[in-house]
Structures are given as structure tokens and as C-alpha cells.
Structure 1
Amino acid sequence: MNSEKITVRVEGNPATEVTAGTPVGTLAIYAPKRDILPFIAALVNNDTCSMTYPLSVNSTVRFLTMADSNGWRIYRNSLCFILAKVVKELYPDLSFSIEHSLGTGLYCSLQSNGNTTNFVMSNEVVISIQKRMEEIVSRDIPILRHKISYMDAVKAFQNAGQYDKLNLLKFRNPPRIVIHECEGFFDFAHGPLAPSTGLLSKFSLVLYPPGFVIQFPTRESPHEVAPFEDQPHLFKILQEHKEWGKILGVTTVGRLNEIITAGEFDHIVQIAEALHEKKIAQIADQITENKNKIKCILIAGPSASGKTTFAKRLSIQLLVNGLRPLILSTDDYFVGEEKNPKDEQGNPDYEHIEAVDLELFNTDIMKLIRGKTIEKPSFNFITKKREYRGEKITMTDENVLIIEGIHGLNPRLTYLVPAENKFKIYVSALTQLNVDANNRISTTDNRLMRRMVRDYKFRGHSSLLTLQMWPSVRKGEKQWIFPFQKEANATFNSALDYELAVLKPLVEPLLMQIKPDVPAYAESRRLTEFLLNFLPAQTKAVPASSILREYIGGSSFHY
């Protein structure tokens, strides 16, 4: 019997000795309660762990609720696990997939897989799934974590017909595979889940043809399910990108790995880039058809969505169509340190719309539209002051302004410009690729890894600094970008289904620099585990004009 003692410090408590192998969840009784929310996981030495995790070394422990970022992700993933279990029980002959985020929920598809031809998604189907999920939650069934041999995992997934899981295993060879199991249903363990179903009572399902959406609470309001907000423009982009995935023949990570090993990666890159170019040309044509009215092209999107390269490639397509774009940067109209709005902590909030001199910005735009000449300001980021360097510009009938920045879709940014003179474009990286049918790839993770590589290569930022800044960046996006998506006249999805294979060997060394003594280690570990699913691909296949080159280097554009 193991009697080795280790030292454990639970948040808010002095250090104490426990027996090695003690499940971390048994110590939750000592943790301070936060907002009466149940604990669903723990941070052990800044690594996210399940409540059954056996403590084996000296540890600092903090318990997580769904109000924590890591806890909320576990809550959502646990509900997705239960959803997949229920669909397998009720509709075993149908093809099910958790596809992508939609507002505060996740869009899911349930359709014929060739063996069933008469299935039609309906409200009755959604109600049947929700009722069964509620029943499972009410029974508070344990969600068990098992380690099984590699060959047992292969046999289990073969018997269950889960070929998307087998595709992942094809390119991995660990001696043991970690799975989660609940009443005979099992899936890969892509991170911790809640210890039991009784903790997962807050959710709802909404019919959204041709599929449905599972809604969750938000971190900010964890006691109630967020109301469903329809986003038809985003759904259209994601469905379009899903069709692109079918054209490419790539919908899961396992399939991408097969393409890499078959030596077909270059071909997939070429098709993906051609689809991008086609979409950019279509947007340029849409603008050109209304060139007599459109004077300002406003491009907005979240961080690392590829706005800058998109703007440059759009400029080329507009030149092909006979228009001559002029670039006006909102950065050059910053008000400066003294006038900059402050956040709740009293620090400068550079993402606030009033960080831009809106009056001067609008006055200059209207002068240009009326054919007058302006002297462009230039913001000096060292002195944090606006300067004038004698650069004068004038618009003619052949010219069109391109304005790129996070506030492009916010009506306040161009409040003096008539609506008919504006064309608004929303850019984001909405990946359609899934790890497997039950586990999606987060669009946010895709952008974070782009930014991590770019910040390290071109801005001198460590990966730790990028991860530490990311919550603030995300907060700004939620406040200043996402609410205005619906203002867009056109949308562009900058995601490339091959890019995570290229980013993998660039991101992994950066993640390894983050050690367990900092809170960001939990996120680093999660991303490292996620990237294990991918085979690496070389950067040489990526063309110099690709949006991905904005982040990995080697672009033919100047930034």
C-alpha cells in the first residue's frame, strides 16, 4: 500500500500533507466557494485536470467552475460528449457532427449517411434529444476516464464504426489511449470532462435547419442558458466553407494527415488558395459594379483574421477592374496617450473606438470624397503623438478608399459618410475542419496560433506574453467587433484548411517555452495536446501571396 506523503496547497488554505495518489477532487471541500457554482475540474500546478486526477507530486491546486475560462470549456465539452452519446442511442443510423460555433452555441448536423434516406430534421427530433439529455443529467451518471491499450482502442472504435477516430489513431502510436466513458458510450479524451452528468443541467437545443444548435450559459452569466441569436450571415460563410472542405476532400484532421502522407499536400494548398482568390475577386467585382456610389471600403475583423493581407489582395483585384485604391489607416488618427480612453483598471484602452479622433477622421474622408486634398497624418508610436509629414492625397473618380481596422463596421467610425458611399467587409478565420465528428476545432485557437507565431517573429513578443494578452484581446473583440458583424455587405473567411499542419512545427517550440510556474501554462498544455493530432507540413508549399504568410513570414507583400 502506497503511504508516500506529498505536500498540497489548496487555494485559500495552508499547505498540508496527503497520501500520494489522492484524487484531487476529494480536496474540494477545503476550497473557497465562488458564486455557488459547483467545481467541475482543477488546476494542478497550472495544468487542467479532472476531479479524479491522482496527485503524485507536491502540488498547488485551484478548483474550477464554469465561470473560469478553463472550467467553461470543460462544461461545454462535457455537454457535447453527452449530446454525442444521446444521438448515438436515439439515431444510430444517422451521421452526426458538431460542426462550428454559432453565437454562444454550437451548430450540429444530423443527416442521412447513405443507409437512411427518409430522415428530415424537425423540432420533434430536437425535443427527443433534449429530453433524453435531461434524463441523463437528472440521473447524475459518472463520466469515467480510462486508459486502454492502443490495440483495444482500435478494436473498440472499429466495432463502434467510429472511423474518424481510427483515422486519428492511424498517425499516432502511444501504448495507451485515454478515453471517456459513460454507460457504454466512449470517445477520445481531448482534455478533462466533468466528473458526472448531474453538473451539466444548463443547456438547451434549438432547431436551426438543416441542423440544430446546442446553447450554453456564458461565463459572465453561468446560471442561465444564453438566448439564441440568429446569425444568418455567419452561418452562410461557414456553410460555404463546409462546401469548400468537400471540394478539397478535407473535413477532419485524420483526412488531412492522410493527404500529407500521400504526398498530395501541395495540391490541397493550391486548391485552397485558388478558392480564396476566387472569393476575393468576387468581392472586388461586387464593389466595381457600384463604383459610382462606393467611395469607402471598410474592412474589419478580429485579431489575426488576415485583414491586412486581405486588403492588399483586394487592392490588386480592384486594380484589375480599373479602380485605384488609396489606403487610409485608422491607426494614424489615434488621439494619443493623454486623450486615450481608460479601461476599468485605469489603463489606456487602445481598442476603444474613441481612441480614434473620429471628428478629424470623418472630416478628412468627406474632404476626399468631395475631391479635396488632405494632408495625411502619421501616428508616431514611439512618441505616441500624431505627426504631419507633408504626405498629401486627393481622390479622383478612379480612386476608392480602403480603410482597415477593428472598428470598420461600427457606424460611429464613419458617422459623416453616407451609407450609400460605404462598402463594409467582415473578415474572420472560421475553420470548418474537425478533429473528429464529436470534437470541433475552435476558430479562436486557430487565430491565437497565427498571432503567436507572428508576434514572436515580427514583434519580439514571447509566446507567454501573447497568451497573457489574449484574454484582453478577446474582450475587445466581443465589445467592438462581433456586435457589428451584421453590418457587413460582404464577408470573407480567411481560414485555410491546411494551415494548422504548417503552424504546428512553428507553434510547438513556442509553447514549450511556457513553464508550469505561470497560469498561462494551462493554455499552453491544452494547445500542445491539440497539436498532437496533426502531422507537420513544410512552409515551402505556401504561396508568397497567401494570407498565412502574414504570420509565418515570406510574404510578397510589405507590412
Structure 2
Amino acid sequence: MNIQFSLGKNIPYTAIEISDEITAEELAERYREETPWPVVAAIINHEVKPLITPIHKNDTVQLLDIRNKQAYLIFQNSLILLFICSVRQILGNVHVEVMTSLNDGLFLQVMRHGEDGEFQVVDMSEDDVARTYFYMKKMVQEDHPIEAKMFRRKEAMEILKETGLTEKYRSLQRVKVDETVRIYTLEGYSDFFYNYMVPSTGYVSKFELMKYREGLLLRHPSAQNPGVIPDYVDEYRVYNALKEERQWNHLLGVQYQADINDRIESGAYRTLIKLSEALHDKKIVEIADRISKEEKKVVLILGPSSSGKTTFAHRLIIQLMVNGMKPLYIGTDDYFVEREDTPLDADGQKNYENIDALDLPLFNRQMKDLLEGREVDMPVFNFKTGHKEFGKRKTRLARNGVIVIEGIHAFNHLLTRQLPEESKFRIYISPLTQINLDSHNRIPTTDTRVIRRIVRDNRNRAHTAAMTLHLWPKVREGENKNIFPLSNEADVFFNTVHVYEMTVLKKYAVPLLKEVRQEEEEYAEAQRLLRLFRYVDSLDDESIIAGDSILREFIGGSIYTD
């Protein structure tokens, strides 16, 4: 029979003939020598499917490695399952919490029930970690099958309850339709993941396991380079933000998305929203107080797309004013070079995200003049003509002034190389953590950001979800180059996430995601996000969300951006 076949993204489809009763795994094996990295999933008729999926006549099939977002998550979930089974072999009936992504991998905690009945973190010895690692490697070498079996939702709930995964039982309880649920089993251990798995343990051969602070790091190759585990860099500031978020969630009385769902159902969500917003206020006040105390003159704000930088900057400015300071907000967009001088990317297109797209000599000279008390004629960039205009913004910095700079190159030393290092205070902001669906199914922070952007782009620019999803890989590419490598230079991290925000975003995002047509390239990713939202209840009442909330930047009603 004939099918349309592609070895990967951006590789043209060609017609090939295959035998009947072949799976995507068998097809990938046939072309193994022609694929640069191990294949872990496939797009079949525009939907991501596990490799065990049979292929039929006239199907379109594209092979996926972990450079694809969904394939990356499939690899990651399979690695989590392998770890859970292995650590239970070494330590017995323990509970595993997948906390967040960290240090090019996952931060995990292994727990047991304490005398009070609550889970207590197990301080694994180096020997226990090594034994778990080698057991994982043994299972990889033996290539154990990961079995997938479909159950009616209520049957699956009972299996999870018997396994002790009560939070997953509660999560499935919220699904409105009595759909079938896929339960995965490895070496007698059964679990639920809302994403797919690889067919067997041999697919997840490359990983590291190490002790890290109050838990473990399970590190693996990145989507940027599937063949190599990145060099270890201690992202201790991200860890501290995670620890703070856990403390906040404990104060809020929530641990999983099911807890948020319960608050919505009971009508107790108002206090949750108020507390979440108040915790943001508290943190911003602390940052402003530190800037004042240390007498910093230049505040640099960096963060990836859809972090809420604009709202954060305005709220910080207000707190700095409360402290008697006079902030001067400067956006770097007014310092673009003349359009004809804009550097080009590899495709010959103007690259506005390149640091050289900014007039660095002018920016440095004017910032230095401001710090030294001189008046400057700050430019206003005319995006219609592509040129800077002067004479409209002459200003000088007050004696107790502070310059607040926000932009994708805020931490790049070339941007502020003429300014004294001791005058600078760097703030990195992002949705650094997100409340998880359950102990093993996390909501990636990149999902939070792309959902925020889908909602905002539709509201502000009339973009469809497909348009935003299409542009997202290019956005991520710029972040990986200009933003993430510099995050550890921050003096402080600010986590812009709200534990309740997915419940608010749902009613905006779901209709937009459903509009993505099956023939569109972005359909597979839209379907994955829709699967995630099945476990999130919708909160329709926004009356309690303040006008200065970071979330308002995306859903509308912001006193700063609307």
C-alpha cells in the first residue's frame, strides 16, 4: 500500500510503498540509518501518535525525534516512568514527585509516609542514587516493553486509587466525558500520563541521575542537541524560586490542579486569587526595597516572551516611587538602528532580535549621560519610516532617579558596557513554575507562556492560534540564544505565574485551539494543549482579578497595557 512519508520536519513528503500491518515503529526502524537522531514518535495524518500506532493506506507519516516539542515530552515522560519503577525496586514502595524542569532535566523528590501520615522527603544516599541509576541502565539494556492498555475512565480511576495515586484519581474525576484512558505498565507498575510513551525502555538510553539539594536531578539531552546531555550548570536561583513557590502553594492550600478545581467548584476561589495576587505584591515590594537599600541606579529587566514584563515593570516602578525614588522607564525598541542598517539572519531577512539591531553607541552614551546628570535627547523610533526621530523626549535623571530598562538584551553586557557595574540591578522574570496536574504530569512553563501568548495575540492582533503556534519555535530560538543563557546573572528571580491562571485562560484558549484545522501544521500541538485543558476546570468569574494583575496583560482589562 502507498503512504506519504517524511523523515522529519522540513523534509518533503514522498510517496512510498509499504506492506500491510506495519507500525510506525517498524517504519522508523526501516529508515534508522537515514534519521539523524532516535525516533520516538510520529505525526500520522497531522496528529502525534505513539510508535505502536499501525499505519494504513494513504496515511501521511512524519517521524519525530526530541527536537519536536511533543516528542520531547514523550521521551521525558518515558524516562520518568523508568525512574519510578527503578527507584521502587531499590527503596520499596516510595512516592515520586516530579517537581519542575531544572538544569536541563527534571527536579524530582522521592517520598515516604511519615509518622503523621504526611509525605516526607527521602534523603537518598549516594549509594541509593547509584543503585537506582544502574538499575535504570539495566532496564534500558534489557529493553523492557512499556505496555499501554485502554480502560474506561471509571476503571482507570480505580486502578490509580489502588496504586495509591489518589491525586490522579481526583484529576480523572474532573474529566466531563466518560472517555477511555490509557494506563501504562512497566514491570508490574501501572500509571497514568496524559501524553504518550515510547514502546520500550531501550528508547531512553541517554540520561544522568544525581543528588541535588533536597532531591534529585534526572538530566537528559535537550531539544537543541538530542545527542548530548548539556554541561551541568547549577540553576540555584530557579531552585530557590521553586522552593518559594512551594511555600506559597502550601500557604494557599493547593498542591495540584485538582485542588484548584475543587476551589472553583466550592466557590472558594476568591480568597485563592486574592492571596496569589498579594504574594506577587509582597515579592515586588521586597525587590523595590532591595534596590533602594543598595542604592542601585540602573534596573535591568529580562524575561522570555509572555512573562508579563510590561506589567511587572510598571508595578515595580510604583513601589520604587513609594520608596522616594524617581524611576525613568526606557524601552530599547526606540534605539533600533536605521532600518536599512538592520543586520540580516541566515535567510537574508532583517533580524530585529540581533543585539546589533540596536544603536549600542547611542544607547550607552545616553545612559551614561543620564547617570552623570546631563540632559539627553532620547529618540522615538518611527516604525513606519524605519528611522529614529529626535526632539520629542528631552529629559534628565532626577537626583534620586533610577533608570529602568526592559528588553530581550537587558542582560547583554554590550547594551550597558559603559555603565558602572556596581550601579546595575538585574531582575529575571518568567513563569518559572506551574502547579502540576498531579505528581507525575507537570504543566511545562513553556505551555503557560504559549497559552498566554495565544490569548493575547488574538485579543491585540487578531492572530489565530495557528499563527501564534507557527511563530512560537522562532520565538523559542531567540530566547535560547539571547535570554536563557544569561538568566543566572540575575540578582533576583521573579516568578510571574499565578496558580489559578490556567483556569482563567481556559475559556479564552480552548475555542481558539479548536479552530486549528486538521490540515494545518499546528494541529498536533493544538490537540496536545486541548488534552491538557481536559483536566482544568474553567473559571468564568474574573471580577476579583485586579486591573494591575500580570494576568490582565493577557486576558485584557489591564490598567497598564489596555
Task: Report the TM-score range of the alignment, normalised by the length of the smaller protein.
Answer: over 0.9
Supply the RMSD in Å over aligned alpha carbons: 2.0
> Partner of 1:196 in structure 2?
200
Cα distance in 1 between the residues matched to 2:477 and 2:122: 41
Moved more, 44-53 or 184-193: 184-193
> Given the superposition, is the C-alpha separation of residues 307 and 545 from structure 1 closer, same or farther in structure 2, using an over 3 Å criterion?
same
Q: Which amino acid aligns with 2:123?
A: V
Contact kept? 2:161, 2:169, Cα under 8 Å: yes
Q: More deviation in 10-19 or 501-510?
A: 10-19
Amino acid at match of 1:385: H
The CA distance in 2 between the partners of 1:97 and 1:395, in whole Å, is: 50
Please state whether the residue corresponding to 1:436 is helix, strand or coil.
coil
Matched, 1:236 2:240: yes
Q: Which moved more, 1:127-136 or 1:68-77?
A: 68-77
Preserved CA contact (<8 Å) 2:74 2:197: yes
Q: Secondary structure at the match of 1:525?
A: helix
Give the 5 Å matches for 1:364-513. Answer: 364-513=366-515
Counterpart AA for 1:536: S
2:4 alignment partner in structure 1? 9
Distance 1:143 1:545, change over 3 A: same
Does structure 2 conserve the Cα–Cα contact (< 8 Å) formed by 1:251 and 1:432? no
Deviation at 1:270, TM superposition (A): 0.4
1:124 equivalent to 2:127? Answer yes
User: Is residue 2:288 matched to residue 1:284?
Assistant: yes
Residue in 1 that maps onto 2:96: 96
Q: Which residue of 2 aligns with 1:134?
A: 137
Are 1:358 and 2:360 an aligned pair? yes
Question: For residues 389 and 552 of structure 1, what CA distance do their matches in structure 2 show?
Answer: 36
Q: Is the 8 A contact 1:10 1:27 kept in 2?
A: no
1:120 positional shift: 2.3
Q: Which runs of 5+ in 2 are unaligned?
A: 7-12
The 2-side partners of 1:92 and 1:307 are apart by: 45
Cα distance between partner residues in 1 of 2:36 and 2:292: 57
- What SS is found at the alignment partner of 1:316? helix
Query: Is contact 1:511–1:528 with CA below 8 Å preserved after alignment?
Result: yes
Rounded Cα–Cα distance in structure 1 between residues aligned with 2:101 and 2:490: 19
Secondary structure of 2:341 counterpart: coil
The equivalent residue for 2:43 is 43
Residues 353 and 407 of structure 1 are in contact (CA less than 8 Å); yes or no, is this contact kept in structure 2? Answer: yes
Mapped to 1, the partners of 2:211 and 2:559 lie a distance apart of: 45
Provide the C-alpha distance between the structure 1 equivalents of 2:340 and 2:161, rounded to a whole number of angstroms.
64
Match of 1:528 in 2: 530
Q: 1:293-341 CA distances to partner (integer Å, 9 max, x unpaired)? A: x221111111111111000001111111111111111000011322112
Match of 1:158 among 161, 165, 168: 161
- Secondary structure of the residue aligned to 1:551 is helix
454-463 or 66-75, which moves further after superposition?
A: 66-75
Greater Cα offset, 318-327 or 180-189: 180-189
1:56/1:147 Cα in 2 relative to 1: closer, same or farther (>3 Å)?
A: farther
| 1:179 maps onto 2:183 in alignment | yes
Partner AA of 1:25 in structure 2:
E
Q: Deviations over 1:337-357 (max 9, x none)?
A: 221122221211211111111
Distance 1:37 1:371, change over 3 A: closer
CA distance in 1, matches of 2:560, 2:396: 24
What is residue 9 of structure 2 aligned with on the other side?
A: none
Partners of 2:218 and 2:81 in 1: how far apart? 12
Distance 1:119 1:525 in 2: 37
Once residues 71 and 468 of structure 1 are traced to their aligned partners in structure 2, the CA distance between those partners, rounded to angstroms, is 17
Give a deviation string over 1:447-484, Cα, whole Å, max 9, x none.
11111111110123221121111111111111111111
Listed one character per residue, the Cα deviations across residues 362-381 of structure 1 (whole Å, up to 9, x for unaligned) are: 11111111111111211122
Structure 1 unaligned spans of 5+: 1-5
- Counterparts of 2:40 and 2:122 in 1: how far apart (Å)? 37
Verify the 8 A CA contact 1:202 1:216 in the aligned structure 2.
yes
AA matched with 2:46: N
What SS is found at the alignment partner of 1:371?
Answer: coil
**Aligned 1:254-269 pairs, distance under 5 A:** 254-269=258-273
SS of match in other structure, 1:434:
coil
Q: Secondary structure at the match of 2:494?
A: strand
Q: Cα offset for 1:22?
A: 5.3
CA contact (8 A) 1:98 1:438 kept: yes
Structure 1 counterpart of 2:249, one-letter code:
G
Q: Contact (CA 8 Å) 2:50, 2:197: kept in 1 or not?
A: yes
Residues 133-142 or 538-547, more deviating: 538-547
The 3-state SS of whatever aligns with 2:339 is: coil
User: In 1, distance between residues paired with 2:279 and 2:500?
Assistant: 13
State whether residues 42 and 49 of structure 1, in contact with CA within 8 Å, keep that contact through their aligned partners in structure 2. yes
Residue 3 of structure 1 corresponds to: none
SS class of match (1:540)? coil
Cα distance in 2 for partners of 1:356, 1:504 equals 37
- TM-score, normalisation: structure 1: 0.94
Alpha-carbon distance in structure 2 between the residues aligned to 1:175 and 1:68 = 27
Give the Å deviation of 1:544: 1.0
**Pairwise CA distance, 1:15:** 5.2
Contact kept in structure 1, 2:77 and 2:193, CA below 8 Å: no
How many Å apart are 1:16 and its aligned residue?
Answer: 4.5
Percentage of matched positions with identical amino acids: 35
**Structure 2 partner of 1:323:** 325
5 Å-filtered alignment, 1:287-326, equals: 287-291=291-295, 294-326=296-328
CA deviations 1:176-231 (Å, max 9, x no partner) are 21122222212223122111111111011011021010110123332232232111
Residue equivalent to 2:10: none
> Hey, what's the Cα distance between the residues in 1 that align with 2:550 and 2:293?
26
- Report the CA distance shift for 1:167/1:65 in structure 2 as closer, same or farther (over 3 A): same
Indicate the larger mover: 513-522 or 277-286.
Answer: 513-522
Distance 1:510 1:57, change over 3 A: farther
**Could you give the per-residue CA deviations for residues 490-534 of structure 1, whole angstroms, max 9, x where no partner exists?**
221101111011111111111112112122111111111111110
